[in-house]
Amino acid sequence: SADGSVWMRFKAGKAESQAVNGNVDIDSDYSQFQLGGDILTWSDGAQSVTVGLMGSYINASTDSTGNRGADGSQFSANGSVDGYNLGLYATWFADAQSHRGAYIDSWYQYGAYNNSVDNDGLSASRYDSAAHAVSLETGYRYDIALSNRNTVSLTPQAQVTWQRYSADTVIDDGGTRISGQNDDSWTTRLGMRVDGKLYKESGRIQPFMEVNWLHASDNASATFGDTKVSQDLPNDRVEVKVGIQANVSERLSVYAQAAGQKGKNDYGDASFSLNMRYNW
């Protein structure tokens, strides 16, 4: 058998996007608290496989503003969502000890959410939604040795994620039927990660940076009565992540990360996450 671990992550961020061909501005704030742990580990002395469980709580709020009509008057709406995810992950490393060379990471997750929408105080609605998601990622890590045991690692990565989202059809307080939020989407990611391992008298620190190209088929939309409203999400986005990992002890490691995404139609996303992992 191989070593295992338990881990936790807190992530918070803000996203900006548009809808209805740029006529509606959407601002979102979100947070997630996630816990996970290995339930099965295997190694033959070289490669290893780890299987684990994970769960999370998410919360998000959204403010939308736009033009109501030809007179230039504004309308606004706000929404919120909270819910839970439960999933399973599996990871294979060709080199169990150093994590050099090839790896494959996969996970499945199911989520159930409570949603509410308030349309400018004129009408309100509440409904349930759910999502299934599956991801497969692979990469290959190259280590470049420097002086004093310091190393730089380059890891080209590729990932594909499929998600199916479904939401209840609901009639709001104003009598408007809201439907059509069911959607299948694919997201692919191609990127490069650069890690450094720097040894100091006080221990080891690991700064890292990651640059990704994301391509998504997501066409998020909803139908209000007979009117379909689509979010202007860009198919292509650029993502940059920077962070640092520190080993607090032989078994406990902590890392912090800042990330940003940018795309057409004034799309942007900025987030910060804090992660802890305990190995045994």
pLDDT in tens, 30-59: 999 999 999 999 999 899 999 999 999 999
Q: What is the mean pLDDT of residues 158-170?
A: 94
Is the pTM higher than 0.85? The answer reads yes
Confidence at residue 232, expressed as pLDDT on a 0 to 100 scale: 84
Query: Is the predicted pLDDT of residue 68 greater than 70, yes or no?
Result: no
Domain boundaries, the chain: 5-143+157-191+212-279
Contact call for residues 161 and 132 (beta carbons, < 8 A)? no
Average model confidence (pLDDT) for the chain?
A: 92
The CA distance from 213 to 20, in Å, is 25
The pLDDT tens digits of the residues spanning 246-277 come to 988 889 999 999 999 999 999 999 999 999 99
pLDDT digits (tens, 9 = 90+) for 89-119: 999 999 998 999 999 999 999 999 999 989 8
Token digits for 211? 């640059």
Cβ atoms of 87 and 55 closer than 8 Å: yes
Q: What's the CATH fold of domain 5-143+157-191+212-279?
A: Lipocalin (2.40.128)
Share of the chain above pLDDT 70, in %: 96
pLDDT reported for residue 61? 98
Looking at residue 20, its pLDDT comes to 84
| pLDDT tens digits, 120-159 | 777 788 999 999 999 999 999 999 999 888 999 999 999 9
